[in-house]
Amino acid sequence: MRGDAAGSVPLRGRLLALAARALVGLVRLLPRQAALDVAGRLGRAYVRLGGPRTGVGRVNLRIAFPEWTESQRRSVLADSFANLARSFVELALLGREDAEQLRRLVSVEGLEHLEKARQQSETGGVIGLSGHFGSWELLAAAMVAHGLPVTLVERTRDNPQIEELVRSLRGQGGSELFPRGSAARSALRALREGKIFALLYDQNCSREEGVFVPFFGRLACTRSGPPRIAMHTGAPVLPVFAERLAGGARHRVRIHPALELLPAGDDREAAIRENARRMTRVIEEEIRRIPDHWIWGHRRWRTQPKGEPKPYPSRRGRSLIR
């Protein structure tokens, strides 16, 4: 990084980046299983201490599973943050493990669905639909290790030093990376080249970027760009998820059959909303199957239809850190 760019980062941001790099270095000194075990314990302790985003997680779980007891929701939230901490370890270790090691750690099921979709695609390119579920960082690296070309679009972070670190780690996993601002161009190029355009489709967005579709029974603002790209290119959309197996170190990637999406037809905007709904629904179904694999600390329902109350307290509210 150039000196002027580094100097433009506030002191707090520089210290955070320094701590992140030190943590990555520490993780790489530990045996894999030991690092995962420690991370899991720290993730659960973080929830017990009421760290930032745990309040958001409790709100989200009440929305998603109103029939559950508080004890059930608390247990899933703790396991979710444990999974998140383990996923950080797996991101940090990407540069330490070669393709053969990744293939031993991550099995892939459903390759026949991918092969069928690639045969049906004019260019061989397909869209891999997933979310911040399981170890999503390891998912992309494992696909590359199994010989599958993956292109990722990532959200650019405000801290350029943290961004540089994360991009470096992800790059060591073998994926091709593009910033979200170039998503459409990157997707079209990747699909033309017969690659898998990997898409994480479970994040809140602004009204200008998205459409409102149901997610756990409540409208959630969801990016309209991905269904537009799928409809424009005709590329098959295959749901792909990584499941953490017992013990925490091994994973199983499951590739589902391609989704049935609507063509543009006479009402293109209605088709976009319906396809966004179908793409979101399959993610919800996977989260319902293994709820502790999702990142419950994300403000998924932050953007609401006009007139609807937001489910989250102010960021300054103490409830968000308890």
255-291 pLDDT per residue, tens: 999 999 999 888 999 999 999 999 999 999 999 999 9
- Rounded percentage of the chain residues whose pLDDT exceeds 70: 94
**What confidence score (pLDDT) does residue 2 get?**
41
Contact predicate 54/47, CB 8 Å: yes
**What confidence score (pLDDT) does residue 321 get?**
31
**160, 115, 154, 156: which is closest to 137 by C-alpha?**
154
**What confidence score (pLDDT) does residue 182 get?**
66
Q: Check pLDDT > 80 for residue 165.
A: yes
Task: Determine, yes or no, domain membership for 88.
Answer: yes
Task: Determine, yes or no, domain membership for 322.
Answer: no
Please report how many Cα atoms fall inside a 13 Å half-sphere around the Cα of residue 16, on the Cβ side: 13
Query: Residue 105: what residue type?
Result: L
Task: Determine, yes or no, domain membership for 296.
Answer: yes
Give me the domain span that covers residue 293: 10-316
Task: Determine, yes or no, domain membership for 1.
Answer: no
**What confidence score (pLDDT) does residue 315 get?**
66
User: How is residue 303 written in tokens?
Assistant: 């953007």
Task: Determine, yes or no, domain membership for 70.
Answer: yes
Mean pLDDT of 114-134: 96
Q: How many separate domains does the chain show?
A: 1
When the pLDDT of each residue in the chain is averaged and rounded to a whole number, the result is 90
**201, 135, 137: which is closest to 168 by C-alpha?**
137
Contact predicate 99/235, CB 8 Å: no
Interatomic CA distance for residues 83 and 66, integer angstroms: 23
Please name the residues in contact with 205: beta carbons below 8 A apart, sequence gap of 6 or more.
Answer: 221, 222, 223, 303
Task: Determine, yes or no, domain membership for 287.
Answer: yes
Q: Rounded to two decimals, what is the model's pTM? A: 0.90
Mean pLDDT of 55-64: 98
Task: Determine, yes or no, domain membership for 115.
Answer: yes
User: How is residue 319 written in tokens?
Assistant: 């409830």
Confidence of residue 196 (pLDDT cuts 50, 70, 90): very high
Interatomic CA distance for residues 226 and 224, integer angstroms: 6
Contact predicate 125/241, CB 8 Å: no
Confidence of residue 177 (pLDDT cuts 50, 70, 90): confident
Confidence of residue 5 (pLDDT cuts 50, 70, 90): very low
Report which DSSP code applies to 241: E
Q: Residue 5: exposed, middle, or buried by beta-carbon count in 10 A (0-12, 13-18, 19+)?
A: exposed
Interatomic CA distance for residues 76 and 292, integer angstroms: 5
Contact predicate 256/222, CB 8 Å: no
**What confidence score (pLDDT) does residue 269 get?**
96
Interatomic CA distance for residues 134 and 155, integer angstroms: 19
